[in-house]
Amino acid sequence: MGKLIVKPGMINEGEGGKVRLLWFIDRVLMLLAFPAVFSLVAEYGFYLSPSQSLFIQSLDFSILWIFALGGLLRLLLISDRVSYLRSHWPDILIMLLILTFLIFPAQITAVMHSFLPGLLPGAIAKIYIVITQILLLLALVPPALRYSQRIMTFNLQPALLIIMSFLIFIVLGTLLLLMPKASVSGSMPLIDALFMSTSAICVTGLVVVDTATELTVFGQAVIMVLMQLGGLGIMTMTTFFAYMLGSGSGLKQYATLQSLLGEESLGRIRSTVIHVIVFAFVVEAVAAVILYYDFSTYGFSSVPEQLFFALFHSVSAFCNGGFSLWSDNLMAAEIQHSVTALVTIMFLIVIGGLGFPVITNIFMLLNYRVRSRFGLVKGEPVEAEQVDTLRLFPQKKSRKLKIRLSLHSKLVLITTSLLLSFGALGIALLEWNGALGALPVADRVFSALFHSVSARTAGFNTLDIGSFSVPSLFFLVLLMWVGASPGSTGGGIKTSTLAVAVLNISAIVSGRNRIDIFRKQVAPVTVVKAFSTVILSVFYIAFALFILLITEQFPFEELLFEVVSAVGTVGLSTGITSGLSQTGKLVIIVSMFIGRIGMLSVLGAVIRQRSFGRYAYTRENVMI
């Protein structure tokens, strides 16, 4: 159940025996995590004989009994049970569910029969096995989240913690995909498993094996979970569930999330994380329902399969993953001309690519305007930037918070709109009589808009990218290079980076030494970061392309497209991904990882940070 945290008052003085017994119980429950993980991995990752399955089921029930009895004994030994219940309520709830399941099997069977009277004994047994495994997994969640908090106490840079979290899950994803039940063939080459895991956790969508035909449902589910973790950010997900389970988050974790989400204020990190997760889950659920009903005409063999398809593509679109359960991606005949499904997917891509700080800002603005319209907000107006001051000075809480779109939100929204518009126009003009030539006029316009949206880091395609002309491929390269926005599920150099770079060039050309826009001045450090990001991105793309030109036999434009697609975490391809050599695949793997984390973050994690002294050298101009 989780490591025991004995707070003052939980155990009375002089009860050393209880402390030692509680310590022993805690260690036993910790060690039970190993056979529990072994059981789940064996059940879902390997093909077992009947005797082996029976042994695993017996092991599951034994682990659940020890978990439940250990948790109950721990509760009885604690003196201050009220404080313990408040801090460990998830453990208690899970313990009660486990005890109910173990003690009242006949009653649970009767409830099943009352709701589903046609259930056969074999079906009931399968449901029992599934419930057992779910409870086993639930028992592992609280301790896993609590122990993950320990990593935050290490003296590591936030960027390095983010890199470590992604690397850990890339390795775990690779191991899961290597299991016999993950692939139809029962075995997958290590390099391919590593490639698919990296592509999923970095929400890229480039594939070296067909997700639809070469992966089992278990393998596809692994890809979906990795996309969800990578899209929303592993640290974000961990912090959210830790908060929901009653575990606190320290300043180091907030600093790490600040880097991941792009949130300027540490005081708003927790609320931003909650908004991000809740918003993402709600949007994905609603979109999955829409896709489910649209998929009803596609001829699925069962309701679970149709539901899984809908949920998979909803997660893939919102997280800008680009993975599809059709071999031809969205070129498949079932979905290629479905306006409802494609519009839903485009909406998910755009929302996921805006960035969570922008989404939070928009919702705060809408909420403020609605409340103001109905007179629900009273007091003296205070700018949104002063929200942290309100927390520091409680006497000012009666003031009305005046919400406005931040400069960041305005730049992101304007740049995104321009890129989508010019992207659609450019694709339409370049491919009007080419890849779009066989479509009706309305479908040409719609398809051009779809690929403009998708090229911004999503990676879905309704047309064969390999049939695009070289100018069109280069135009898509530019869109992929820019990518999505900071704090989003996408990659690229980011829309705000492009906006700041362009504005700075405009300021220099017009003779100004600063960027003034919307009655705000862009901080000089932001300008430096923007140009550094652009330069590092170009340097890395050139380096990776040079390596591929040495190791691969494909045309220059196709290799350039592949590299930029990986660095931008887009996933579009001309069809050469599976034909790359092992060296080529490793280059793309590294490119996807760097594209998701960010070159500046990677360099900041590996280069030692130094503080400057309290002095400054004389300035001298350098000719440019």
Interval 335-377: pLDDT, tens:
888 899 999 999 999 998 888 778 878 887 887 777 777 766 6
Of the ranges 131-145, 193-207, 502-516, 524-538, which one carries the lowest mean pLDDT score? 131-145
Whole-number pLDDT of residue 571: 86
More confident residue, 8 or 594: 594
β-pairing, 520-521 vs 516-517, is antiparallel
Q: Which of 226-230, 376-380, 541-545 has the highest mean pLDDT?
A: 541-545
More confident residue, 73 or 116: 73
Query: Which of 259, 278, 260, 258 lies closest to 268, judged by CA?
Result: 258
Q: Which two tokens stand for residue 511?
A: 């003779």
Measured over the CA atoms of residue 449, residue 454, residue 455 and residue 460, the dihedral's sign is: negative
Share in percent of the chain as helix, strand, coil (round to 5): 70, 0, 30
Is residue 125 over pLDDT 90? Answer: no
Phi, psi of 520 (to 5 degrees): -130, 155
Whole-number pLDDT of residue 156: 60
Query: Distance between CA 171 and CA 179 in Å, rounded?
Result: 13
More confident residue, 143 or 206: 206
CB count, 10 Å around CB of 114? 8
CB count, 10 Å around CB of 447? 23
CB count, 10 Å around CB of 620? 5
Query: Distance between CA 606 and CA 609 in Å, rounded?
Result: 9
Q: Determine the average pLDDT of the residues in 146-157.
A: 58
CB count, 10 Å around CB of 237? 20
Whole-number pLDDT of residue 562: 94
Whole-number pLDDT of residue 259: 52
DSSP annotation of 439 reads: S
Q: Determine the average pLDDT of the residues in 442-446.
A: 92
DSSP annotation of 517 reads: E
Q: Are 305 and 189 in contact (CB under 8 A)?
A: no
Mean pLDDT, rounded, of the chain = 80
Whole-number pLDDT of residue 547: 95
Q: Which residues pair with 486 in a beta bridge?
A: none
Is residue 389 over pLDDT 60? Answer: no
Centroid of chain to Cα 182: 21
Which strand (E) or helix (H) includes residue 520? strand 520-521
Q: Are 484 and 457 in contact (CB under 8 A)?
A: yes
Whole-number pLDDT of residue 485: 85
Q: Determine the average pLDDT of the residues in 158-175.
A: 84
pTM for the full model? 0.83
Of the ranges 252-266, 277-291, 314-328, 373-387, which one carries the lowest mean pLDDT score? 252-266
> Tokens 């491919």 belong to which residue?
431
User: Please, what is the angle between helix 407-431 and helix 356-373, to 10°?
Assistant: 120
Of the ranges 94-108, 196-210, 492-506, 540-554, which one carries the lowest mean pLDDT score? 94-108
Query: Distance between CA 73 and CA 235 in Å, rounded?
Result: 33
Query: Which of 35, 31, 33 lies closest to 56, judged by CA?
Result: 35
> Tokens 């300035």 belong to which residue?
619
Long-range contact list for 56-60, CB < 8 A, 24+ apart?
57/129, 57/132, 59/35, 60/129, 60/132, 60/133, 60/136
Query: Which of 554, 246, 117 lies closest to 562, judged by CA?
Result: 554
**Per-residue confidence band for 417, with pLDDT thresholds at 50, 70 and 90:** very high
Contacts for 580 with CB less than 8 Å, ≥ 6 apart: 208, 548, 552, 562, 588
> Tokens 């992604």 belong to which residue?
166
Q: 313-330 burial by CB neighbour count: b if 16+ within 10 A, else e?
A: bbbbbbbbbbbbbbebbb
Query: Distance between CA 243 and CA 6 in Å, rounded?
Result: 19
Contacts for 72 with CB less than 8 Å, ≥ 6 apart: 95, 99
Whole-number pLDDT of residue 117: 65
Q: In the Cβ-directed half-sphere of 244, how many Cα atoms lie within 13 Å?
A: 14
Q: In the Cβ-directed half-sphere of 109, how many Cα atoms lie within 13 Å?
A: 14
Query: Which of 136, 2, 141, 124 lies closest to 65, judged by CA?
Result: 136
Is residue 9 over pLDDT 60? Answer: no
Query: Distance between CA 212 and CA 441 in Å, rounded?
Result: 31
Q: Determine the average pLDDT of the residues in 98-125.
A: 73
Of the ranges 46-60, 175-189, 268-282, 438-452, which one carries the lowest mean pLDDT score? 268-282
In percent, the amount of the chain with pLDDT more than 70 equals: 78
Q: Are 200 and 570 in contact (CB under 8 A)?
A: no
Q: Are 582 and 191 in contact (CB under 8 A)?
A: yes
Phi, psi of 354 (to 5 degrees): -70, -35
Q: In the Cβ-directed half-sphere of 297, how many Cα atoms lie within 13 Å?
A: 9
Which strand (E) or helix (H) includes residue 401? strand 400-402
Phi, psi of 336 (to 5 degrees): -55, -35
Query: Distance between CA 152 and CA 311 in Å, rounded?
Result: 32
Give 193-204 pLDDT, tens digit per residue.
Answer: 999 999 999 989
Give 533-580 pLDDT, tens digit per residue.
Answer: 899 999 999 999 999 999 999 999 999 999 999 999 898 888 899 899
DSSP string, 107-131: HHHHHHHHH-TT--HHHHHHHHHHH
Amino acid letter for position 370 = V
Q: Are 120 and 127 in contact (CB under 8 A)?
A: no
Q: Are 124 and 87 in contact (CB under 8 A)?
A: no
Is residue 15 over pLDDT 60? Answer: no
Which strand (E) or helix (H) includes residue 516? strand 516-517
Whole-number pLDDT of residue 148: 59
Q: Are 488 and 354 in contact (CB under 8 A)?
A: yes
What is Dmax (Cα atoms) for the chain?
86
Give 31-89 pLDDT, tens digit per residue.
Answer: 777 888 888 888 888 888 888 888 888 888 888 888 888 878 887 877 777 777 776 77
Whole-number pLDDT of residue 540: 93
